Amino acid sequence: MNETEFEAILLYQWARAGEKVPAFPAIAAGGSRATCLHYNSNDTELAQGELLLVDHGAMKGLYCADITRTVPVSGEYTPRQRELMEMVLQIQQKAIELLRPGKLHREWNDEVLEAYKGIMMERGEIEKPEDIGEFYYHGIGHHLGLDTHDENVSDIPIAPGMVFTVEPGFYSAEEGIGIRIEDDVLVGEETNTVLSEGFPRTPDEIEASWRPSDRRRIHESSPGGGRRGLLQGRGPSGCRPCHRRRRALSRLKQDRRKASAPVPRGMPGDKRRLQGKRGLEAGGLHPLRNPGTLRDVRRPHPCHPDPQGGLRRLGQEIRRLRLCHQPP
């Protein structure tokens, strides 16, 4: 896959959700290109074994989101990549804890930097505190609101109700690795709220999201139940049984519309009944006589939290169709 294709998938998903305007141009950087903070060429082929850094966000009601995840192109992290991911997650959690009302933005940034130096030295990534600049060379976060990088007045302290990005990273051009994990955090009086909590973040969650059999478990365990498509019984994208079920239900609805279509006035009774029958069986599909259509709808599948609910909806749809089958 090319980075351009991945960017196109992101834009397509935003458009499907009703948000055609992204908050900012996407960053889809594979391998060593992720060490460039605002890389946006997005035109290089991705290689197996690389990491893909994805920094993007949608816009809703004029307010922006800004989220970054670093995923393995092959679907699984190498031991080294997993080790670095866990280190970045560790400092991100610390940074969220240090984000408290009353501090200035620069004070928060300095506290996180000192904590990160200690973590990297404990893990053996650096020998001296000043070496951190070789692997981490940006601030911990920025204001988020009507603009992706919302206005920051340096002398105004952090206050409840403000939203910040928290985005530590690790960048090593020599290893061809660029990692950044970014979440949007609402500052509260007592505790903070991670607004982007529903997105897979840890290595285990991200690897599981690549495996269709584990997608339901990941999304059900996330706040809000994860992707809306799973809650509505549509299943994850690319699932063949779910696609067949959706297509079969679509056929049922199309046939119902054809059956209820108005018949021209003045047509004799026999012809009116024939016209209705043709409407029902247009294209050789009859929802009550074609077992393949109903089989695809009834087929149970682990992607659906409530397969019996799907059968109930099918029964309701069939009853409506039968009402349309009555001769005019």
pLDDT tens per residue across span 7-38: 998 888 888 888 888 899 999 999 999 999 98
Q: How far apart are CA 90 and CA 198, in angstroms?
A: 18
What the block records as the tokens of 231 is: 């809650």
Do 164 and 196 form a contact (C-beta atoms < 8 A)? no
R_g over Cα of the chain: 26
Residue 211 amino acid letter: R
- Which residue's entry shows tokens 């920094």? 55
Q: What's the pLDDT score for residue 152?
A: 83
Predicted TM-score (pTM) of this structure: 0.66
pLDDT of res. 161: 95
Taken in order 71, 77, 81, 83, is the CA torsion positive or negative? positive
What is the greatest pairwise CA distance in the chain?
94
Pairing state between β 67-72 and 163-166: unpaired
Query: How deeply is 279 buried, as exposed, middle or buried, from its count of CB atoms within 10 A (0-12, 13-18, 19+)?
Result: middle
**Greater confidence, 186 or 305?**
186
- β-bridge mates for residue 186, sequence order: 163, 193
For residue 174, pLDDT beyond 50 = yes
| pLDDT value at 269 more than 60 | no
Average pLDDT on 257-279 reads 50
Closest-CA residue to 209 (of 238, 168, 242): 238
Three-point CA angle 187, 190, 191, nearest 5° = 55
Would you state the pLDDT for residue 239?
54
Q: For the chain, what are the domain ranges?
A: 3-210, 240-324
Cross-strand bridge partners of residue 182: 68
Q: Per-residue pLDDT for 273 more than 50?
A: no
The proportion of the chain whose per-residue pLDDT surpasses 70, expressed as a percent, equals 65
pLDDT in tens, 187-222: 999 999 999 998 999 999 999 987 765 544 444 444
CATH second-level architecture of 3-210?
Answer: Alpha-Beta Complex (3.90)
Residue 308: in which H helix or E strand, if any? helix 307-324
pLDDT score of 305 = 47
The DSSP secondary-structure symbol of 223 reads G
**According to the model, what pLDDT value does residue 94 have?**
97
Closest among 91, 68, 75 to 178, alpha carbons compared: 68
